Amino acid sequence: MSQFIVSARKYRPSSFDEVLGQDHISKTLKNALLSGQLAHAFLFTGPRGVGKTTCARILAKVINCKNPIDKVTACNKCSSCISFDDNASFNIVELDAASNNSVDHMRALIEQVRFQPQEGKYKIFIIDEVHMLTSQAFNAFLKTLEEPPPYAIFILATTEKHKIIPTILSRCQIFDFKRIQISDAVKQLELICSKEGIKAEKEALHTIALKADGAMRDALSIFDKITGATGGNITFKDVIQNLNMLDYEYFFKATDAFLTQDIQEILNLLDDVVKNGFDPEQFITGLSDHFRELMMAKFPGTHKIIELSPELKERYINQAKLCPAGLIFSGLQFLNQCELYLQRAKNRRLHVELTLSKITFLKNLQKVNILEEIPGEKKNDINQLNNVEIKPVVPNQNAEKSETEQMSAPIKSAEIASTKKISNIDSIRKKILEEESRNADSRKNLNLETLKTIWYDYMTNNPSMSVQLALKNTDIHLKNTTITVYVPNSVSKDLISQEINLLERLRTELGTPELSLFLEIDKLRFPEFEEVKPQMALTQKERYLEMLVKNENLSDFVQKMGLKLDSEIH
């Protein structure tokens, strides 16, 4: 049996042209080689698995190559290149600072710097994970790094630049490596599949790249794992099973259920997720990501931010057209709050079910604070923002059919959403439009006289006498859709502000959902009300003196009976 070589090693780039996703690094290093202006110290920094050590090895190999192609590519034929490929080069020294981080290890390295290269012009030292060196090791290395021999070049690599002391950073040319873009990772995986004779669905490769989170080495490791599990035929289903990921179909179905207010569908979906061995928290996290993609798909200017396959991206755009912006933003807020409090919840599944129920019946909630955190909004506008009515996007007649047909269209010849769900969404649109028409008619009755009639009726039927009195002693004003109520004192303001059903009733009976109410204290409007000054509690001695003023014989009585005040006793 032949020895297996992992893809990360087998397909490791051997030239700058093969380096993936780091064109800015490759171009700069090639220009330095062409001009012969090489620094004596480089620092390659960036996330894991993006090519830092690979670029360091390529640079070291080219520098010592006897016959470089165009001065920027190693020939792979000279003795220096061959010895490097066989890991037998004495002129290129690699050190893992994670396990060689002491002062003694650094002194041993400095001792090697003293010896000139046996072959070639330069002696190159590659120090990986350099941030792991101790402070003493860094200090021991400083002088050599600042004034090395003319034949010595140092290439440092790290994932955590902030842990390196500034005196080291100031002596190096710093190159910042980027995360590998998902599209670049997919292209590389497709290239490997073609070379290895492996069949793979594009959506499967895209999911692998997405899971790798910008690290090409991680993507190749996942690819090797799934290739071994599937026998060379990789499907999207195989990937999500091996990576223990939730199928995005769950999230598309969940969003359809939110649009149709189908609480049974959403709860059954969650139950299916749990029965398949997933934690409810995974469902919330995945749904948050789904809503984030819908938010980006909602606006044409942010489509470029979506890092998904073209087919899946188009599906998100189609579903986003059917989702009101209020549903997306409020859903994101509910899901975010659920994630924050989920760790402390005793019944985590119930906590998730409640969150999903809130999103399902979002339009029925009295208050939805979807813009509460927007910077620059005035506090006086919060009441208006707290009552946002979610209105669906109503496309033109010609486009409506195509959009609803595409809403739950699968990526590859899967079923179109059922006719029942499409008709449900259409019926919802029709009902909302009818309701808006009725509201428009009822707004004609919006006047101060009608408002005061509703206010008086609410007051007389209130079971609390104190609330009745507070509602009675008011001065009501109406301007457009804003009600301003002046009250004589803070007690009245607090009592009225606690009547949360009052504003809802006014909105309903006046047919104005955007109606807002503000309470303001204005003592000048109510001269008959005087502020009651609080009485201070009297001490025993003060009470005695007050009684003594009223009855002078009290002093003789106290003396005869031998009575004493508590203050005198203590």
Q: What is the pLDDT of residue 497?
A: 85
Question: Which residue blocks in 65-215 are alpha helix, DSSP H?
Answer: 79-85, 103-113, 135-146, 166-169, 182-196, 202-212
Query: What is the rounded distance in angstroms from the CA atom of residue 302 to the CA atom of residue 295?
Result: 9
CATH architecture, domain defined by 7-176: 3-Layer(aba) Sandwich (3.40)
Cβ(69)–Cβ(75) below 8 Å? yes
Q: Fold for 248-406, please state it.
A: Zinc Finger, Delta Prime; domain 3 (1.20.272)
Q: What is the mean pLDDT of each run of 10 residues along the chain (570 residues)?
A: 78 90 92 90 92 93 90 89 86 88 89 84 91 90 89 93 90 93 90 90 89 89 89 86 86 92 92 89 92 92 87 90 89 90 86 91 56 39 39 42 43 42 59 58 70 88 82 88 88 84 84 84 77 57 72 77 59
Cβ within 8 Å of residue 108, ≥6 positions away: none
Question: Which residues make beta-bridge pairs with 478?
Answer: 483
Strands, E, within 452-511: which ranges? 475-479, 482-487
Burial 27-53 (b: 16+ CB within 10 A, else e): eebbebbeeeeeebbbbbbbeebbbbb
Query: What is the rounded distance in angstroms from the CA atom of residue 214 to the CA atom of residue 240?
Result: 18
Q: What is the pLDDT of residue 409?
A: 44
Q: What is the pLDDT of residue 222?
A: 92
Strands, E, within 273-428: which ranges? none
Q: Which strands form 123-128's sheet, in the order they lie side by side?
A: 92-96, 123-128, 152-158, 41-45, 173-176
Q: Fold for 446-525, please state it.
A: GMP Synthetase; Chain A, domain 3 (3.30.300)
Polymer length in residues for the chain:
570
What tokens appear for 506 in the block? 């006014």
Inter-helix orientation angle 280-298/325-342, to 10°: 150
Query: What is the rounded distance in angstroms from the CA atom of residue 82 to the CA atom of residue 62?
Result: 12
Fill in the amino acid letter for 348.
R
Sign, CA torsion 456/457/458/459: positive
Q: What is the pLDDT of residue 341?
A: 86
Query: What is the rounded distance in angstroms from the CA atom of residue 154 to the CA atom of residue 187?
Result: 33
What tokens appear for 213 in the block? 């989170």
Residue with tokens 């990526």: 411
Find how far residue 164's CA is from the centre of its chain: 29
Question: Which residues make beta-bridge pairs with 479?
Answer: 482
Cβ within 8 Å of residue 98, ≥6 positions away: 128, 129, 132
Element (H, E) at 233: strand 233-234
Verdict on whether the full-model pTM lies above 0.85: no
Helix (H, G, I), strand (E, B) or coil at 521: strand
